[in-house]
Amino acid sequence: MGERRSLSKGITVTQAALPGLTLCNNAMLRRATRKLGQFYDDMLAPSGLKATQQGLLYQILIGDEPAMGAIAAALIMDLSALGHTLKPLIRDGYVETFADKDDRRVKRVRLTPQGLIKLDEAMKLWSLAQQRFEAMVGKDEAARLRAALDDIAALDFDMPPAAPSK
Amino acid sequence: MGERRSLSKGITVTQAALPGLTLCNNAMLRRATRKLGQFYDDMLAPSGLKATQQGLLYQILIGDEPAMGAIAAALIMDLSALGHTLKPLIRDGYVETFADKDDRRVKRVRLTPQGLIKLDEAMKLWSLAQQRFEAMVGKDEAARLRAALDDIAALDFDMPPAAPSK
DNA sequence: TTCATTTAGTGGCATATGCCACTTTTTGGG
DNA sequence: CCCAAAAAGTGGCATATGCCACTAAATGAA
């Protein structure tokens, strides 16, 4: 009666008994991200920007010539990852960087005029995507979801499982 | 008073008036995914697997020697992306593929004995991560979140904004 | 049967992200 | 003032994901 698969100390369970990945918070989050990402990317396609790039340009716009570290922190993104992601945007002339006047370690970022124009174009498409999405799930539900996601982003996972005590 | 940034047809707004990216459903989803991904990855680190890999191995386990297309569909992932993601797991001997008996186009996937052992090891760590996360946000809230994410994953974004009519 | 079409994957190319080892600056004590 | 430690980025390497063009195999209609 049905395949058996071991799963932890010799225990064997019938396949039907294994819960889907629907139980993993992380897997579900990733899956939804892929799905929604495809939608936003499709909607933004006419601008030539990916949703991630549009989001990054916007983050740069609202920051006041933000330092890379500041952007990375705001997006909860690895600093080096940010650096990599920024390259295509610099290459395409949408963004430029410059050293901070007081601290030469700090590299600040700003949009170029073309970057501003491109972002402007992308924001209109983003707005449509946002509207279509919220029309489907409901504005309230969307807001609730964003709030929940913001809470997760704010969690503090510090200390290892076992508290070092004392 | 304050920087000004154009944002759409010559309109200029003061920086403070620009809402953060907190309003973009997609950006928030990505941000939370990065955050939670780091946590699950950290927790799984002792196993040498990334959370994505653990999730993929699990998906393969619960499928009955699933075809690549079936896995991709279940994870809402591009078929070629799945192929790429599978490579390191095949290289490390956790997974193996074989052609379907009746349809030689179809490539099926299964865990190797080592893959099963490794997954077993990873699932224990995953369980801890899951527990810690749910202890922080609450089991109910986590379940609600997963449900919301599942709804998003099930959305049908088909038809382009403007209905092609007749 | 035969061929156009559809289906399932592959490979190449590009972006998205992370970690780690390093380099350059700053900072904070001695 | 000098040097060890901290802070901010960079580069290299690896995985995560997608899109597109292409190949092989299966299907269906003529």
Backbone angles phi, psi at A99, to 5 degrees: -75, 145
Residue A79 CB burial class (10 angstroms; 0-12, 13-18, ≥19): exposed
Lowest-confidence region among A3-7, A134-138, B69-73: A3-7
Spelled out in words, what is the top-level CATH class assigned to the domain B24-153?
mainly alpha
Per-residue model confidence as pLDDT tens digits over A102-132:
999 999 999 999 999 999 999 999 999 999 9
Q: Give residues 4 to 43 of A whose Cβ lies within 8 Å of B.
A: 5-8, 15, 18, 20-40, 42-43
pLDDT averaged over every residue in chain B: 88
* Predicted confidence (pLDDT) at residue A12 exceeds the cutoff of 90: no
Spelled out in words, what is the top-level CATH class assigned to the domain A25-137?
mainly alpha
* Predicted confidence (pLDDT) at residue B1 exceeds the cutoff of 50: no
Whether CB of A81 is under 7 Å from strand C: the answer is yes
Interatomic separation, CA of residue A83 and C1' of nucleotide C20, rounded (Å): 15
Interatomic separation, CA of residue B9 and C1' of nucleotide C19, rounded (Å): 43
Name every chain B residue with its beta carbon within 8 A of the beta carbon of A34: 75-77
What residue has its CA nearest to the C1' of D12?
A80
**Torsion on CA atoms A60, A66, A68, A69, rounded to nearest 10:** -120
Interatomic separation, CA of residue B150 and C1' of nucleotide D27, rounded (Å): 34
Instruction: Write down the domain spans for chain A.
Output: 25-137
Any chain A CB within 8 A of the CB of B130?
yes
Any chain B CB within 8 A of the CB of A116?
yes
Helices A113-137 and A139-154: crossing angle in degrees, nearest 10, is 120
- Alpha-carbon span A32 to A38, nearest angstrom: 10
Cβ contact B58:B119 at 8 Å:
yes
* Predicted confidence (pLDDT) at residue B45 exceeds the cutoff of 60: yes
- Alpha-carbon span B121 to B115, nearest angstrom: 10
Q: Inspect the interface and report whether the beta carbons of A25 and B145 lie closer than 8 Å.
A: yes
- A-B contacts at Cβ under 8 angstroms: 194
